[in-house]
Amino acid sequence: MKILSLLLGLTFLYPVQAVPVHNTPPPVTAPAYILQDFHSNQIIMEKNVDERLEPASLTKLMTAYIVFRELHTGRFKLTDKAIISEKAWRMLGSRMYLEVDSQVAIELLLKGMIIQSGNDASVALAEFIAGSEETFVALMNEQAQRLGLTNTHYTNSTGLPNERHYSSVRDIVNLTQALIREFPEYYRWYSMRQFTYNGITQKNRNKLLRRDPTVDGVKTGHTDAAGYCLVTSAKRGEMRLISIIMGATSEKKRIQESQQLLDYGFRFFETYRPYQAHQPLEIQPLWHGTTNQLPLGLEQPLYVTVPTGKYKQLTATLSLDKYITAPVKVGETYGTLKISLDQEVISERPIIALSSIDKGSFWKRLIDSFLLLFY
């Protein structure tokens, strides 16, 4: 293996004034929580992130995710209408007050579910997509498995209590990241502060939208069993953080502790993009190919989140295969890039081929085989 030290060409995503790192995080009383950077996936604070808990209306993140996927594929449009069933009309809890047998546009149902947390809207969307809520739940569990949500299982589209209906903080933050990353055109609805349907105006239950202008989502949840839950996403500059509180004792507590997490993360941490995707980090000798050189780099941009003022202490180590021979296909792995802080690896990514290169002629391969004897 070839070891190569790299200098970090750091791109500032969120320039903040350098201050001493605060070693005392804010006190959080919720039984499970997380604070994570959206771009780097770096966890800043966490507790019981893999414990299976009742997610309450945070369930609707998956309901929305599936509807967004269906819209993205073009299977239906926002202007298409769903016929409201008696089951949807009879749903208890938070509602957008749909009328049975009425025809409601998908866009309105999505807003009613996202902004008003309407259980009736959730069931109406599930029935429109899959014919029945039961069949839709099967889709929810399939998507959970595809996304790697190993501590999640759904029994309904709304989050109403059921002993077999559970998720975890880690799973929910991963789902939230997928939703924001894949569907930015629909995610914007999570920042809407109120929504009016059928002459009834309801405010978004996420009160942080009105307290903090950098907050643009995401979802509240509450049942007696689940306690008070809140998924929050905020963006300051180009840095985005996601916080999750589950099981808080009151609505006030979930708001207060979510705000504390976000303020702590933005104040005492910074996110950088040392390397972009598909840009050569190293040109490696190539044998037996139509060319003698192979550009190597990253498939995705690399982001790191570090305590404020620590970026100059980052080091990068590139470990590459010693011999690379053609043929080579784009995306094949030929090494590893590690980013370290204080001798601790904080990010590790595969190094891939940035070009496809075929085998060279017989004489080229023969000459290279001879040269390799002395390499």
Query: Is 215 in a helix, a strand, or coil?
Result: strand
- The one-letter amino acid code at 288 reads H
Place of tokens 């996601």: 242
State the number of CA atoms in the 13 A half-sphere of 137 facing the CB: 16
Query: Is 282 in a helix, a strand, or coil?
Result: strand
57 is catalytic: yes
60 is catalytic: yes
Place of tokens 């003022």: 309
Query: Considering 40, 94, 117, 167, which one is annotated as catalytic?
Result: 117
Query: Is 332 in a helix, a strand, or coil?
Result: coil
pLDDT at res. 375? 72
pLDDT at res. 24? 83
Query: Is 40 in a helix, a strand, or coil?
Result: coil
CA distance 53 to 347: 29
Query: Considering 57, 157, 168, 347, which one is annotated as catalytic?
Result: 57
pLDDT at res. 23? 63
- Going by the DSSP 8-state scheme, the letter that residue 20 receives in this structure is P
Each residue's pLDDT tens digit in the chain (375 positions)? 333 344 444 444 443 333 334 468 899 999 999 999 999 999 999 999 999 999 999 999 999 999 999 999 999 999 999 999 999 999 999 999 999 999 999 999 999 999 999 999 999 999 999 999 999 999 999 999 999 999 999 999 999 999 999 999 999 999 999 999 999 999 999 999 999 999 999 999 999 999 999 999 999 999 999 999 999 999 999 999 999 999 999 999 999 999 999 999 999 999 999 999 999 999 999 989 899 999 999 999 999 999 999 998 999 999 999 889 999 999 999 999 999 998 889 999 999 999 999 998 888 788 878 887 877
pLDDT at res. 365? 82
Q: 45-230: which CATH number, 2.40.50.140, 3.40.50.150, 3.40.630.30, 3.40.710.10?
A: 3.40.710.10
Strand 269-275 and strand 302-307: pairing?
antiparallel
Residue 216 burial (CB count, 10 A): 20
Query: Considering 40, 60, 207, 258, which one is annotated as catalytic?
Result: 60
94 is catalytic: no
* Strand-pair partners of 153: 166
Strands (DSSP E) contained in the chain are 2-6, 32-37, 43-47, 81-83, 103-105, 194-197, 200-203, 215-223, 227-236, 239-248, 269-275, 282-285, 293-297, 302-307, 314-320, 333-341, 344-353
pTM above 0.85, yes or no: yes
Residue 155 burial (CB count, 10 A): 19
Q: Where are the domains of the chain?
A: 2-13+276-372, 45-230
2-13+276-372: which CATH architecture? Sandwich (2.60)
pLDDT at res. 367? 84
